[in-house]
Structure 1
Amino acid sequence: MAQNSTELRRQKYFSLSSQLAHLDNTQLRELFDHSESNESSTGWGSGHIIDFGKSKVFVKRIPVTNLEYDNLFSTKNLYSLPTFCNYGIGPVASTGFGIFRELVTHIKTTQWVLDGEIATIPLMYHYRIMPFFGQRLAVDMDRHKAYVESWGNNVNIGNYALDRAIANYELVLFLEYIPHILATWLHENPNTLEQSLNEIRATIDFLRMKGIIHFDAHFHNILTDGNRIYLTDFGLVLDKNFALTKDEEDFFEQNIFYDYGEVLRNLRHLMRWSYDRCSEIDKRRIVEKYDIKPGLQPHELVSILLDNIELIQADGDMQLDEFYVASIVKYRSIIMLMHKFFAEMWGNQQKDTKLPHVELQRLLKETGFLPNAEVHGS
């Protein structure tokens, strides 16, 4: 833990922040010439890993629409998007609610890390709003149409997605580089799940006390350096201090404990990976033993495996970490509730499925995932 202590991170922050601030736009662009990158044709931007001096830095480039550029740093819901976009549930991720909500959250969390209030969030070294550069990928209109249909044919969602795809400006975030994605890290290091889960819960606790719901705390948005986890990607964040509409204020109150349920729901996915790494002979044996019918969807297969996880472990049908099995058993009611909510939301063309927040709160209390004294707070 000492190798990435708060003091060392603070020193690195001030050094890199100062150096990046002294670069003009042309010099910043040159940093991407030999970077590892991934890009999106849907207007969701791109990510890069750059070498800057002796350090690696993760850079996220996000389109800034004309409407956003005309309303710099506004945290309003400028496109009047429906609140269900916060869930990010769909064949392609949600558009989010505006880049400045993401930026403002990074500014706040970086200060909290520097002040020593929390350690499990990456630092933002620098940000820059600059003209878009690079090759612009063409918009696949058939794909765009399907995307909008999957989000209830909401015109505003479609407009925002298209505006991002043709944006003339972009927000460039220079973030602390963390080498591992938790989802893949846990595959190879299942014995670290207990520490990771405790740290994730503590991070969500912290954000909740600050009036923030992350809304996207799945294991691909959680990183690790092997010592601790880091919660990142604030594209769907809802903060009580944003310029919220009345609908958004009500939505916030109805989803205060969403992040806890989302984290536990993601425990499901570890089971699928454990099954996939079984030999073909072992898979056939498991299929026969637990009467798994052919043609099931992946989530249906996982549900059967989770329902039988105690027997699977007892009989040695799959190699499963003991803490993982105990967690599934302990939080199974929450995992099932969240999975049912996601399945209903996915299949609901209007996307107006309500989170059963009262039931979620009750189960979080009963299972002890939240201390009793905290469950009643908001």
Structure 2
Amino acid sequence: MDSPEATSALRAGTYDDVSTALALYGDHELAELVAGATPLGRGIGGRSALLDVDGTPVFVKRVPLTERESLPENVRSTANLFGLPMFCQYGIGGPGFGAWRELAVHTMTTNWALSGRFEGFPLMYHWRVLPDEVQPLPEELAEVDGVVAYWDGSSQVRDRIEALRDATASVALFLEYFPHNVHDWLGARVRDDEQALSLVTRELDAGVSFMNAGGLLHFDAHFENILTDGHRLYFADYGLALSSRFRLSGEEREFFDRHASYDRVYTVTYLVNWLAAALYGYGRDERQAFVRACAEGERPRGVPPAAAALLTRHAPLAATMGDFNRRLRGESRRTPFPGDELRRFGQSSSTVFA
């Protein structure tokens, strides 16, 4: 395995080469290059593809750019340009807060990685606004009236979805490519390699702690949004990320402060539920019952000791957070985040898995 210093130097060298190559393309040439990339998928956050740039694989994400975001006074703005309600921050199928915020976070994290402050982010080699064909809404947003009703009848949500439906441009993000996400990588190792689980918990702790100390809340750090090369984790996909350095309203600043521990409790809860599914094959209802039983003192059986210890220690927090998520999804989008209750589990500290 290469030393951390050698890996950092290799990443920086690749960044120089690829960013320069992409910067030298005109808009028409770059659009043609992107059009020929291998499609990977599409969803609420946009479409993705894999591109080859002089032998280097590059992950391309095209984030829809709406007419409102394209107005001269709004270009590069990190404000909540559609006035979306704050409960859209939770990763339960909302329409996202815009391309400029996502771009700003990629700029922030790339600078952190290149400066050596924290390397656990994919590098953004380049970005460009490119014309685009009008795209059908993703399945999650396609039934507009039903989606708006779910989001408490918000007219701002309707405006955002309709603007996405009519978008004729996108912000193309050209990102460092990692072939594995944590869901797949850990899933192949969790039963037989306790070092893999140790790596994930250690890197989750380091990444969340660094982001939060830098005034950044990810808000969607599930295992398909975290990449790995087998040596460290890379936090990706910033469609819901919220920074204290954004242009925030008073309501948004208050929301940010109340959710200072959100990434910490989210990642702990996600790992507990992920282990229950990966090790026992539990579906949603069985998983909820299992986590609740562990929270009440039942010992996990038939799983590796490190996984059992994590389940035992963090099941009470995961059960509390699970109750919040169920109410948020199934009862009311205005369900209050149980910050005071979660503080009982020690998650007001800067350490995730302490």
TM-score, structure 1 normalization: 0.84
After TM superposition, list the pairs within 5 Å mapping 1:186-225 onto structure 2.
Answer: 186-190=186-190, 191=194, 192-225=196-229
- For the 8 Å contact 1:35–1:51, the answer to whether it is kept is no
Q: Distance in 2 between matches of 1:130 and 1:176?
A: 19
Q: 1:115 deviation in Å? A: 0.5
SS at match of 2:334: coil
Give the drift of 1:269: 2.4
For the structure 1 residues 142 and 229, does the alpha-carbon distance in structure 2 shift closer, same or farther, using more than 3 Å as the test? closer
Change (3 A) 1:112 1:138: closer
CA shift, 1:365, in A, is 4.8
Q: d(CA) in 2 for partners of 1:355 and 1:129? A: 36
Local SS of the residue matching 1:6: helix
- Equivalent positions of 1:53-132 (< 5 A) are 53-70=54-71, 71-89=74-92, 93-132=93-132
Q: 2:316 aligns with which of 333, 356, 359?
A: 333
Residue matched to 2:9 = 7
For the 8 Å contact 2:300–2:311, the answer to whether it is kept is: no
After superposition, the Cα gap between the structure-2 partners of 1:10 and 1:206, relative to the gap in structure 1 and judged at 3 Å, is same
Identity of aligned residues (%): 31
Match of residue 302, structure 1, among 272, 278, 287: 287
| Superposed displacement of residue 305, structure 1 | 3.0
**1:5-27 CA-partner distances (Å, limit 9, x unpaired):** 21111111011000000011222
Indicate the residue corresponding to 1:293 in structure 2.
none
| 1:141-160 alignment runs, 5 A limit | 143-160=143-160
- For 1:294, the equivalent position in structure 2 comes to none
Change (3 A) 1:31 1:198: same
The 8 Å contact of residues 218 and 263 in structure 2, kept in 1 or not, is answered as yes
> Which one of 334, 341, 351 corresponds to residue 352 of structure 1?
334
Q: Distance in 1 between matches of 2:19 and 2:331?
A: 45
Distance of 2:312 and 2:159 partners within structure 1:
44
Distance 2:291 2:138 in 1: 40
Match of 1:136 in 2: 135
1:269 lines up with 2:270 in the alignment = no
SS class of match (2:170):
strand
Relative distance call for 1:142 and 1:136 in structure 2 (3 A) is closer
Give, in whole Å, the separation in 2 of the partners of 1:61 and 1:212. 22
Residue 285 of structure 1 corresponds to none
How far did residue 356 of structure 1 move? Answer: 1.1
The change in CA–CA distance for 1:205 and 1:366 in structure 2 (over 3 A counts) is closer
The aligned amino acid for 2:56 is S
Are the equivalent residues in 1 in contact too, given 2:268–2:352 (CA < 8 A)? no
Cα deviation, residue 39, structure 1: 2.8
Secondary structure at 1:147's aligned position in 2? Answer: helix
| Residue aligning to 2:343 | 361
Deviation at 1:162, TM superposition (A): 1.5
Please say if 1:323 is aligned against 2:306. yes
Task: Check the 8 A contact 2:291/2:319 in 1, yes or no.
Answer: no
The Cα shift of 1:217 comes to 0.8
The residue correspondences of 1:234-249 to structure 2 (distance < 5 A) are 234-249=238-253
Instruction: Say which of 227, 236, 243 aligns to 1:232.
Output: 236
| Structure 2 residues without counterparts, runs of 5 or longer | none
What is the distance in 1 between the residues matched to 2:64 and 2:240?
15
Task: Determine if the alignment matches structure 1 residue 19 to structure 2 residue 21.
Answer: yes
Q: Tell me how far apart the structure 2 counterparts of residues 321 and 180 of structure 1 sit (CA, whole Å).
A: 23
Question: Which residue does the alignment assign to 1:166?
Answer: 166
Find the aligned partners of 1:366 and 1:12 in 2 and give their Cα distance. Answer: 38
Alpha carbons 1:126, 1:174 under 8 Å: kept = yes
Structure 2 residue corresponding to 1:254, chosen from 247, 258, 270: 258
The 1:130–1:63 alpha-carbon spacing in structure 2 relative to 1, beyond 3 Å, is same
Amino acid of the residue matched to residue 147 of structure 2?
Y
* 8 Å CA contact 1:31, 1:52 repeated in 2: no
Q: What is the rounded CA distance, in whole Å, between the counterparts of 2:138 and 2:186 in structure 1?
A: 35
Query: Could you give the per-residue CA deviations for residues 178-222 of structure 1, whole angstroms, max 9, x where no partner exists?
Result: 111111211101131221111111111111111111111111111
Q: Does the alignment pair 1:51 with 2:52?
A: yes
How has the CA–CA distance of structure 1 residues 53 and 139 changed in structure 2, closer, same or farther, with 3 Å as cutoff? closer
Q: CA deviation at 1:125?
A: 0.3
Bigger-Rg structure (1/2): 1
What SS class does the counterpart of residue 345 from structure 2 fall into? Answer: helix
**Alpha-carbon distance in 2 for matches of 1:236, 1:69:** 20
Q: Does the C-alpha gap of structure 1 residues 96 and 340 become closer, same or farther in structure 2, counting only changes over 3 Å?
A: same
Q: Residue 137 of structure 1: CA displacement?
A: 2.7
> Residue 289 of structure 1 aligns with which residue?
none
Unaligned runs of 5+ in 1: 278-297, 373-378
Supply the AA of the counterpart residue of 1:358: D
CA 1:145–1:46: 2 relative to 1, 3 Å = same
